[in-house]
Copies of this chain bind each other. A is one copy, B any other.
Amino acid sequence: MKLYSYFRSSASYRVRIALNLKGLSYEYAAVHLLRGGGEQFAPEYRRVGPDCIVPALVDGDITLQQSLAIIEYLEETHPHPPLLPSTPADRAYVRAIALQVACEIHPLNNLRVLKYLKHELSVSDDAKDAWYQHWVRNGFDVLESMLADDPRTGKFVFGDTPTMADLALIPQVFNAQRFQVDMQPYPTIQRIYDEAMQHDAFMRAAPGQQPDAE
Residues in B neighbouring A68, C-beta threshold 8 A = 95, 99, 103
Is the Cβ of B91 less than 8 Å from the Cβ of A66?
no
A195 to B141, CA, bound (A): 41
Copies of the polypeptide in the assembly: 2
Given the known inter-chain contacts A76-B88, A88-B73, please indicate yes or no for A51 contacting B142, CB distance below 8 A. yes
Main secondary structure of the interface of A (DSSP, over half): helix
Is the Cβ of B64 less than 8 Å from the Cβ of A142?
no
Residues in B neighbouring A70, C-beta threshold 8 A = 92
Residues in B neighbouring A91, C-beta threshold 8 A = 72-73, 76
Residues in B neighbouring A212, C-beta threshold 8 A = none
Q: Is A24 an interface residue (CB 8 A)?
A: no
Q: Which of A106-149 contact B (CB under 8 A)?
A: 106-108, 113, 116-117, 120-121, 123, 127, 130-131, 134, 142, 145-146
Is the Cβ of B113 less than 8 Å from the Cβ of A108?
yes
Q: Which of A33-58 contact B (CB under 8 A)?
A: 50-53
Interface size, chain A (Cβ < 8 Å): 43
Q: Could you say which of A50, A51, A89, A102 has the most chain B C-beta atoms within 10 Å of its C-beta?
A: A51
Residues in B neighbouring A117, C-beta threshold 8 A = 121
A88 to B116, CA, bound (A): 36
What distance in Å separates the Cβ of A5 from its nearest Cβ neighbour in chain B? 16
Given the known inter-chain contacts A72-B92, A73-B89, please indicate yes or no for A104 contacting B53, CB distance below 8 A. yes
Q: Is A198 an interface residue (CB 8 A)?
A: no
Choice from B64, B77, B103 contacting A107 with Cβ under 8 Å: B103
Given the known inter-chain contacts A50-B145, A107-B103, please indicate yes or no for A88 contacting B95, CB distance below 8 A. no
A146 to B104, CA, bound (A): 25
Binding site for B on A (CB under 8 A): 50-53, 62, 64-66, 68-70, 72-73, 76-77, 88-89, 91-93, 95-96, 99-100, 102-104, 106-108, 113, 116-117, 120-121, 123, 127, 130-131, 134, 142, 145-146
Interface pairs (7), CB distance under 8 Å? A50-B142, A52-B142, A65-B96, A66-B96, A69-B95, A107-B108, A120-B127
